[in-house]
Structure 1
């Protein structure tokens, strides 16, 4: 008789919808996760990288900003208003808790928009998103953001020709998916995205019972590989000629500007699709 103790089952991550009371923490996770992103730094017209913000806070949002720079506070507020906007228009915000202590902070967060949902002018105003965008980037940054979104919408329109979709709003849309820096390397974002797709898979859209596709866009090579591992495929891409360094920070010397010509090709928008047949 084998008296060896039975092995404990492996610990698994926990997936759930986030409560609105968690939005301050989630905004801080998004802030830290996207610090290296060139597009965020370009929108904010930064000349140097911002520092991370602490995740632990028990104070209201405004009181918890003591010690933060204006740029830090404005970027954090941008993410707060983004979360508010997603909830206001009927989107969902979900998180994954890493294996182990269920009370630890989320390891990844996703903002998901069901098919047929898009921000309205009223929602953009009521959520505070437009005001936070102006604070975040100023006039220059707001123009850059709107230009980025305009070129992205053009890329979607061009890429969807022949597929039978009028816009990305014909399908579900991954607004944001991000991993907390403390949990990188655990594939939590990919697993959370797969979990969210499974929720989508359980619902049918259309008279024939087929499910709507899922769309997303990205500006990073690594992120694209992660999405392809989940089942997405690239629909199209567009290069942007932007005079910043590889982290989206302003170039300080004329020599830097002259040496950046080749690097401009690295800034690429990509749109991707997960079709119902791949779900």
Structure 2
């Protein structure tokens, strides 16, 4: 179920109900947002197809994040082992299991720069060579529970947003050559590959002072006090995240034009996720199609629910 896609398209209804506003009771532009994120792994599979039995999953019971925040593979007694860790601490192989809180100022000038982005979770891949005798991570599902709160003006929190996406992982053989070794030195360390699936990423947008583009991940409408609506769009930025070369996608078993990142062998690769929110005024007539689309989607979801 593409939950992120469904949430995007019904966001209009959820925002209106949470804030308790309507076209007759509109609000000014929201200029400041607070966010709280709980990011965890909710599913995983090893290359043996054994339901993830060869993946060592861990978290911290009683912490703010109750789910799994580390997936490791390789020799149970080997050191160091390969792993992916959400929000690592001083030791990059161990998660802090902490919620991530940040503030974001709404961008209204139509241009995104790094200063517009608030800090989100960190995802680290501890990429170390392992024996071919061991199974590795194949796929995983990451779930980010996000609560956005309007701070200026102080309208309170939106309904929690749930962003769910698939991670496809390719542990490359370090003896590969040519296109099969997307980065690094063949024979001593080919980079591993992560590709994303299931998350309905929107068009990429240029960030003027970054080598990386941002991707649209969420969008919602709120009635404007001057009439019409304000469309808020949420963007994701992560260093190294982008469209991969088709040869790299092929090694990872993904389609041409895949979105992902590569991680260097023999080191910790940490990726800081960042989020920005833009605002754009939408005239009243232009919102009619959006209302109709949201209504049709809700009817479709209800019909599928009755049929299931």
Higher alpha-carbon Rg: 2
Using the size of structure 2 for normalisation, the TM-score is 0.26
* Structure with greater strand percent: 2
Using the size of structure 1 for normalisation, the TM-score is 0.27
